[in-house]
A = this chain, B = another copy of it.
């Protein structure tokens, strides 16, 4: 129950609305239920780029959001490489050339169709589960009766 020193690590904060909260790798790891190792690995793969205070990594809101998006992407079956590609293009957007931007739109369309398919898969799978569950309950009832 010790108060994190990270809380104090911000210099004279004038704004009230501005959240200048930072996180240690351990905090972030607990928040998202991953290991620090995972977070370092994502950095190594170019998905995160936290600030450094000496040796130790310091994560800001931006990093937290990225991690959240990364994990969400993973749950949807995207590879880290795919996720990185999108993140990189997103970051380079303002001064990205037309070719890059069009490539980005392509990728997005691709992800979109991917997700449409997943939606359909989920619908179908839910029906299967309904079916299996029904049968299972039937069998269970018969077992209870006898």
Residues of A within 8 A of B (CB): 69, 72-73, 75-77, 86, 90, 93-94, 96-98, 101-102, 104-105, 108, 111-112, 115, 117-119, 121-122, 124-126, 128-129, 132-133, 135-137, 139-140, 143-144
Contacts and interface: CB of A to CB of B under 8 A. Distances in A.
Contact of A129 (B102, B112, B121): B112
22 contacts: A69-B128, A72-B124, A75-B117, A75-B121, A76-B77, A76-B121, A86-B132, A93-B135, A93-B136, A93-B139, A98-B140, A98-B143, A101-B136, A101-B140, A101-B143, A104-B136, A105-B137, A108-B132, A108-B133, A111-B125, A111-B129, A115-B126
Contacts of A144: 98
